[in-house]
Amino acid sequence: MKRLWIAIGIFAAIITLCAITQHHQQTQVKALLTALDEVTDAFERDDLDGALVLASALVQDFDRRTRLFPCFMSHSDIVGCRECVVLLPAILAEGNPEEFRMESARCRAQFERLLLVEIPNLQNIL
């Protein structure tokens, strides 16, 4: 009977750990989406200097917030997001508005994909 209770305890600990990491990932990605919104809002207000500062801060924020993601997620998903985020300051410095809009939309799509890819449902399991 002790082994059964130990197994139940281990199972409960694993489920709890999975729920905590899922919540952490969701929280971090939502914070990155908010930061991306701030960059695009500054750009739309024609505050290019402010948008450039915010975009540079977004790159650092991305590295800080996603440092544990490779332990739980596919590296290709994270690298795709990082490629988008790193390009934003360079595009803003160049001053091409259409390219910035396109790249920020691509970045948003990558972040939203990160939100969906780790949800435990049949589509992601199979």
Round to whole Å and give the CA distance between 77 and 56: 21
First to last CA, the chain: 34
pLDDT at 1: 83
Q: Are 100 and 91 in contact (CB under 8 A)?
A: yes
Sign of the Cα torsion 109, 85, 98, 41 reads: positive
pLDDT at 122: 64
pLDDT at 48: 87
Q: What pTM value is reported for the model?
A: 0.83
Please list the rounded mean pLDDT of every run of 10 residues in the chain (126 residues).
93 90 90 94 90 92 84 77 90 88 93 80 61
